[in-house]
Amino acid sequence: MKRILVLGGGASGIVAAISAAEHAAADTEVILLEQNAKLGKKLLATGNGRCNLDNLHCSTDHYFTSSRETAAEMLEYIAQVNLPQWFAAHGLLCREADEGRLYPYSNQAADVVNLLTYRLKQTGVQIYTDCRVTNINRNHSVYIINTADGAEFYGDAVICAMGGNAGPQFGSEGFGIRAAFRANCLMEPLYPCLVPLKCNPVQVQGLSGIRVKAEAALYDGDTHLHTENGEIQFTDYGLSGIAIMQLSGWLGPQYNLNCPNIRLNLFPHYTAAALTDLLFSRVQQMPGASVADYMVGLVHPQAGLAVWQAQQLGDSNRTADSVTREEWDLFAHGLQNWTFTDLADIGWKHAQTTGGGIALQQLESHSFQLKDSPGLYFTGETADCTGYCGGYNLHWAFGSGILAGKHAAETLKNI
Ligand SMILES: Cc1cc2nc3c(=O)[nH]c(=O)nc-3n(C[C@H](O)[C@H](O)[C@H](O)COP(=O)(O)OP(=O)(O)OC[C@H]3O[C@@H](n4cnc5c(N)ncnc54)[C@H](O)[C@@H]3O)c2cc1C
């Protein structure tokens, strides 16, 4: 009997096992090992419990990687899988939301996990949960997997789908990537990605809990790198919200930033001059109002006052009509360039994905098999390709898993 071992029962491992079982010859069995008590723990938390499982408009522009050309090739192969069709063929009805984001029609991540678990059983995959992989070795063409409870599994092919370092509370803690390291793979340095950011605490003092809509631009010094739009959430340590998490990928070591800073534009639809005009003319509407009162109806008052102070415009109890046009100009500049410095991620626990990982050139683009290591595959978050929010990460995890599973099964048919 031949055997394919799939390590890790998350997004990538589950579909890898299904795909392997569907393409395997009758003399091949597929075994899935997962350290948690249940499969798909992280999948259940995706998309706020709704599981944004794909995006219909994926391109390399939606990913952080040090190997853009290889990522493009791999994404081409993943596109051929046609995930919406794959899910439809496996019984999952989906619907498209804004900007190509695909969700299960029921809007329930649990349905995705339950349906895929049903498919695992239906295709005869043997599932071992509470089974923590501790070692991967190779003796000639046979892979030997050790687990924490002392068991040993032998396989002709091994698909490592044990995720990265992000979200250790869901079970992933980088074993897959460490295993690759031991297999002498070239690794890109790891960093938490899609993660809220700390900043200089003085800059967010008293703002925790407030939310503003803004254009958020990341700069290195004065060099503009990337802009996102969305709701910014202030916390006691810094900034959060999807726009900030998207920008966090740009803090990866490959960009080598010296002086990263985020500038919020609270009035992106105004030119600088138009905003000064608006501020100046608005004084007439608010006779006798203090600067603090003047903010009401214009901008979140706490945010407005924080900008006022950041621009060192003095006492906010003075009356708005005592503010000169030059001072309104300075305030307008602050509202469009509210700056946050000393940026740093807040750590793996709050990261949605892992930046870095196995350098993509080490893997065959069509199969995710490690070059020069027949039968050894690395999929999903183990590899150096992490996406923005919007379904891009599950696109990668599912797509790579399906390709690896199919390739492992078909290769064994010829041995
Ligand atoms: C809160 C949250 C929300 C997210 N929302 C979305 C979203 O809506 N859309 C999107 O595209 N992406 C989303 N992501 C990212 C996405 O979930 C991941 O990119 C994806 O799950 C990676 O899949 P994976 O299979 O490579 O790794 P994982 O899903 O992390 O699976 C790895 C599995 O391997 C198991 N494992 C690890 N080590 C061992 C070991 N030693 N032995 C046995 N088993 C082991 C783990 O327990 C885990 O089950 C979200 C992430 C988080 C944290």
pLDDT tens-digit map of 172-228: 878 877 888 777 889 999 999 999 999 999 999 999 999 999 999 999 999 999 999
Give the sign of the dihedral formed by CA 107, CA 108, CA 113, CA 116. Answer: negative
- Sort strands 344-345 and 197-198 into parallel, antiparallel or unpaired: antiparallel
Mutate to test the pocket of ligand 1, among 130, 394, 398 (most ligand atoms within 8 A of CB): 394
pLDDT tens-digit map of 301-356: 999 999 999 999 999 999 999 999 999 999 999 999 999 999 999 999 999 999 99
Name the average pLDDT for the chain. 96
**Main-chain phi, psi angles of 309, to 5 degrees:** -70, -40
Supply the DSSP string of 174-221, one letter for each residue: SHHHHHHHHTT--EEEEEEES--EE--GGGGTT-TT-EEEEEEEEEET
Beta strands in 346-412 (DSSP E): 353-358, 376-378, 386-387
Ligand 1, atom 8: closest residue by C-alpha: 47
Average pLDDT of 148-158? Answer: 97
The answer to whether the beta carbons of residues 260 and 218 sit under 8 Å apart is yes
Ligand 1, atom 52: closest residue by C-alpha: 352
Residue type (1 letter), 230: G
Ligand 1, atom 6: closest residue by C-alpha: 46
- DSSP 3-state of 281: helix
**What is the structure's pLDDT at 415?**
82
**CA distances in angstroms from 38 to 98, 128, 150, 162, 394, listed in the order given:** 31, 9, 20, 14, 19
Ligand 1, atom 39: closest residue by C-alpha: 162
The secondary structure element, H or E, covering residue 309 is: helix 301-310
Choose among 155, 135, 131, 151: nearest CA to 143.
155
Average pLDDT of 105-125? Answer: 98
7: Cα within 13 Å, side-chain hemisphere? 34
What whole-number percentage of the chain has pLDDT above 90?
95
The answer to whether the beta carbons of residues 229 and 268 sit under 8 Å apart is yes
How many whole angstroms separate alpha carbon 382 and alpha carbon 86? 23
pLDDT tens-digit map of 47-60: 999 999 999 999 99
Confidence class of residue 68 from pLDDT cuts 50, 70 and 90?
A: very high
User: Does the C-beta of 354 come closer than 6 Å to ligand 1?
Assistant: no
- DSSP 3-state of 293: helix
How many whole angstroms separate alpha carbon 180 and alpha carbon 122? 31
Average pLDDT of 119-143? Answer: 96
How many whole angstroms separate alpha carbon 94 and alpha carbon 1? 37
| Nearest-atom index, ligand 1, CA of 147 | 42
Confidence class of residue 13 from pLDDT cuts 50, 70 and 90?
A: very high
Domains in the chain (CATH in brackets) are 2-191+356-413 (3.50.50.60), 197-345 (no CATH)
The secondary structure element, H or E, covering residue 120 is: helix 109-122
Average pLDDT of 370-394? Answer: 96
Of residues 177 and 29, more confidence is placed in 29
User: Does the C-beta of 33 come closer than 6 Å to ligand 1?
Assistant: yes
**207: its two tokens:** 């703002």
What whole-number percentage of the chain has pLDDT above 70?
100
| Nearest-atom index, ligand 1, CA of 51 | 8
The secondary structure element, H or E, covering residue 110 is: helix 109-122
**What is the structure's pLDDT at 172?**
82
| Nearest-atom index, ligand 1, CA of 55 | 11
Mutate to test the pocket of ligand 1, among 12, 42, 102 (most ligand atoms within 8 A of CB): 42
